[in-house]
Amino acid sequence: MNADLQNYADIISRSIEINGKINAKNLSLMQGNNHIDFGKGTVNSINGEGVKPTVAIDTKALGGMYANQIRLVSTEKGVGVNLTDIQTKQNSINLTVDGKITFNGNIQSEQDINVSSKALQMNSNASLKAQRDITLATNTLTNHSDIIAEKDMRLFVDKFTNKGEKALIQAKDNLWIQKNAQGEPSSLIENQSATIKTEKGDLIIRTKKLVNESITPLFKEIKQEPDSTSSINIGTHFLHPYNSPTNNFLIIILLAELKELSDKKWFDILDLKNNGGVNVERSLFEKNKKYVPSVIYSGKNLYIQSNEFFNTQSDIFATNDLIATGKQCKSILLSVWTP
C-alpha cells in the first residue's frame, strides 16, 4: 500500500494483518471496536460482537510501516499487537495499546518513540531506536535486544526484565526507570547478563527490588575421571602372640582388601596404611568463557533507591557520584565504584 501522494492515511478496523509494506506521509491506525466522531474528533471504545481477535495488528515477515509520522491506537481490552519494521522519517512514533505489544525487526524514529501498553516484549531480533527521547509506559517490560535513545529515556514499568548478552538499555543523556512519572518505585527490576547505561547523563532507578546478576556462572566445574589402580598394601608385621609362654614370633600378614572397588579406579596411589581414604572423585574449576556479567553504568551520576538490592558477579559503576539507598543489600563478588 502506497499513500505517499496523500497527506494523511487512516486505517480503521477491528483488526488487521499486514503482509506487505505500508508507505505514507502521516499514517494513523485505529483498531478495535470504537465509536468515532469525526466532527468532534473523539474515539470511544464499545463492546464488540462475535469472537474477540487474538491480536489487533499482526505484521508478518514481509510487512512493515514507513511514514513521516506514525500513530497507532488499539482499544480492545486485552488484545495485543505484533509489530515488525516501523520507521518514521521526520516525526515521532506513538503507540497506545490496551494489551501486549510484541516488537520484531527495526523500530526507528527520527524524533521520539512513545509507547503505552499493558505489556511490552522486545524479542532478540528487534531493535528500538529514537533520535530523540524514548518513553515506554507498561505494566511489564521484557527486553532481549537493544533500546537506544539519542537523548533521554523514561521506562515507566512495574516489572522489568532485561535479559541476555544482547539486551541493552542505553540513553545518551538521562535515564529513569521507575513505576510512573510521579516517581513511585517499580515492584521489580531484573538485569540479567545485560546492560543498563547512560553515556553522559544521570541514571535514576527507583524500585522495591533490584537484581543485578549474571545468568551464567563465573566458574565452570569439570569432573575428572579417576585413572589409577596403584596401591600400597599394609604389608607384613611381626607380632608377639598374646600371652604366649614362648619367645616365638608369629607372622601375621595384613592386606587391604577393597571388594567394592575391585573393578574401579581412583586418583593417585592408594595407601591405606597412612591414609584411610580412597579418592574416587575430583573436580577442576576454571573461569567460564561464556560468563557475561550484568552492567549498570552511568556516564554521570547514578542514583539507586531500592528496598532490596542484590548484586551477584556483576558491575555497578558511575563516572561521578554513586548513591544507593535501601533496607537490604546482598552482594557476591560485588564491583561498585566511581573513578
**Mind listing the pLDDT tens digit for each residue in 26-42?**
898 888 766 666 666 66
* Per-residue pLDDT at 248: 56
What is the residue-wise DSSP string for 138-191?
EEEEEESSEEEESS-EEEEEEEEEEESTT-EEEESS-EEEESSTT-PPBSEEEE
pLDDT score at 237: 47
Q: With a cut of 50, list the residues of the chain below it in pLDDT.
A: 236-239, 334, 336
All residues at 6 or more sequence positions from 257 whose CB lies less than 8 Å from its CB, including other chains: none
At 236 the pLDDT is 47
Query: What confidence score (pLDDT) does residue 304 get?
Result: 96
Cα 78 to Cα 120: distance, rounded to the nearest angstrom: 12
Is the Cβ–Cβ distance between 88 and 67 less than 8 Å? Answer: yes
**Cβ(135)–Cβ(93) below 8 Å:** no
| pLDDT reported for residue 283 | 77
Copy the grid coordinates of residue 312.
551477584
Instruction: Say which DSSP state 32 is in.
Output: S
Alpha-carbon distance of 157 to 206, in angstroms, equals 10
**What's the pLDDT tens digit per position in 164-213?**
999 999 999 999 999 999 999 999 999 999 999 999 999 999 999 999 99
Nearest to 196 by CA among 221, 213, 217: 213
Residue 255, C-alpha cell as written in the block: 592386606
| Residues 95 and 118 sit within 8 Å (Cβ to Cβ) | no
What's the confidence (pLDDT) of residue 326? 85
Are 49 and 28 in contact by the 8 Å Cβ rule? The answer is: no
